[in-house]
Structure 1
Amino acid sequence: MPSSVESASCAGSAPLTRPGPVPWIAMYHSVGDRTDDPYRITVTPGRLERQLRWLRTRGLKGVSVTELLAARGRGEGRGLVGLTFDDGYADFLGNALPLLTRWQCTATLFVLPGRLGGANAWDPLGPRKPLLSADGVRRVAEAGVEIGSHGLTHVDLTRADEATLTAETAESRALLSELTGAPVTGFCYPYGTLDPRAMTAVRAAGYRYACAIDPGPLTGPYALPRVHVGQSDTAPRLFLKYRLHRLRRRPVEGLR
């Protein structure tokens, strides 16, 4: 994995600088029961399977963000889309991972090392969903899923003081690297919120890329936009989201 990341970042130096289209990266969260889902963050296993089938029958393959960027850096990214899952919900292990394996896809799972074995306490409306334990994260990593950081405890980095900003970026990376025994090169901004100060902290912490939601003019290797994929995304909606993504976003520096 480190060599792939380095090739995506010009052999470990500065990120790629030739302008190019923004990659298509899907954003998921929980995969399980949708009985109580006020934030619309959950898809059922059946829906995820149909979405993965849609990708594969169209000659597309879901991969981790590191794999996607590395392939693009080699000029080989055609037919690849990024799959990301935020927060590190425990249901990823039993519900999402078997489906990814069945459809020969990989993904990036962004976890919170300061809340391992806990729950999504940052969501005031609930419901409380369990998060992966340290052992669960290791099992996911051993299965070939890229582990990235979602911060230490899921706080808005644009409102964080310097100590908190360092903990959420640098400390979370160190803890996950120790946990998985592998470099952690991807970051995901909690709530999708970011500003130049947060981006600088993420880069200084040693990450190679960072995912947001809709970063606007900040779009680049440390502010990759993503497309929300939810329960209502049937085949026609996925097709439109896939086709419109590049039309809506201009080519940017650092991505080719």
Structure 2
Amino acid sequence: MVAPVESAGTDSRPAARPGPIPWVAMYHSVGDCSDDPYRITVTPERLGGQLAWLRRRGLRGVSLRELFAARARGEGRDLVGLTFDDGYADFLDHALPALHRWNCGATLFVLPGRLGGVNSWDPLGPRKPLMTADGIRRAASAGVEIGSHGLTHVDLTRADDTTLHAEVTDSRTQLAELIGAPVDSFCYPYGTVDERAVTAVREAGYRYACAIDPGPLTGPHALPRLHIGQNDTAWRLHLKHKLHRLRRRPVEGL
């Protein structure tokens, strides 16, 4: 099992007063990166090295649920959010053992409308298998926080009202039924976000949501994240961590 996470309760709501924006790392696939035109893959060895770097720095990777629970208590400055997008099947074989070894948690964003499918939204490929319903339940039972990445991975800023509702609200309902637990976190496909999408996510009942660089929309429902890839060795991680602290100003709700 990865590090246990606290259940979502009133004490884990994002703090109301402005605070420093947490460092949230964005991963995707963990496996063979020899054919990787979008640079979404890290090898298991590289992931292990990155998690080891965190521990050497006195930091620990955790799920968003654990991160915000700690911050609500006025703690957690030594915690880094770890997120994995798209729900690739290789998470179970490669990411989960590394998380376990380094006593880390994570939030896994999955697509309930593509269970057992492939990443067909990436035109250049390669085709990577996505988790089945059983795989998602296995990850959840290992202590991984399961979040929604929408139903089918569409750009919400271009979706009509019906599609937006299905991607945001229906995906949450389906995942909650699948894992038998509340789904508190959302991740905007492609990282694209606008006020309409943020409003839809907030009104659907999610407590926090991840983007990439949401600019003035930054807040609990539009968290900035830092892409971590195969080229991020120790010195690059050090630089990214330092620049994050310099660039991100305190924001209300964080």
Shorter-chain TM-score: which interval? over 0.9
- Greater shift in the superposed pair: 204-213 or 244-253: 244-253
2:127 is the counterpart of 1:128: yes
Of residues 243-252 and 41-50 in structure 1, the stretch that sits farther from structure 2 once superposed is 243-252
Cα gap change, 1:238 to 1:5, in 2 (>3 Å): farther
Any stretches of 5+ residues in structure 2 without a counterpart? none
TM-score for both structures, normalised by structure 1 = 0.96
Please list the CA deviations of residues 27-74 of structure 1 after superposition, one character each: whole Å capped at 9, or x if unmatched. 000000011100000000000000011011121110001110110110
Distance 1:90 1:22 in 2: 30
Identify if the C-alpha distance between structure 1 residues 37 and 200 changes in structure 2 by more than 3 Å, giving closer, same or farther: same
CA RMSD, Structure 1 to Structure 2 (Å): 1.0
Residue correspondence of structure 1 range 19-30 to structure 2 within 5 A: 19-30=18-29
Residues in 2 aligned to 1:24 and 1:35: alpha-carbon distance in whole angstroms:
28
1:146 maps onto 2:149 in alignment: no
Counterpart CA distance in 2 for 1:160 and 1:2 is 34
Q: Separation in 2 of the partners of 1:5 and 1:168? A: 25
Query: Offset of 1:244 from its aligned partner?
Result: 1.1
Residue 218, structure 1, aligned to residue 223, structure 2: no
Query: What does residue 194 of structure 1 align with?
Result: 193
Distance 1:16 1:162 in 2: 31
Task: Report if the CA contact (8 A) 2:86-2:110 is conserved.
Answer: yes
Are the counterparts in 2 of residues 5 and 66 from structure 1 also a CA contact under 8 Å? Answer: no
- Partner residue in 1 for 2:235: 236
Matches within 5 A, 1:158-177: 158-177=157-176
Match of 1:12 in 2: none
What does residue 109 of structure 2 align with?
110
Whole-Å Cα distance in 2 between the matches of residues 3 and 95 of structure 1?
Answer: 25
Percent identity of the aligned residues? Answer: 75
- AA aligned to 1:216 is G
Aligned residues: 250
Task: State the 1:78 CA deviation.
Answer: 1.9
Where in structure 1 do 4 or more consecutive aligned residues deviate above 3 Å?
1-5
| Separation (CA, whole Å) in 2 of partners of 1:251 and 1:219 | 10
Unaligned runs of 5+ in 1: 10-14
Once the two structures are TM-superposed, the CA of residue 2 in structure 1 deviates from its matched residue by 7.4
How do 1:28-177 and structure 2 match up within 5 A?
28-177=27-176
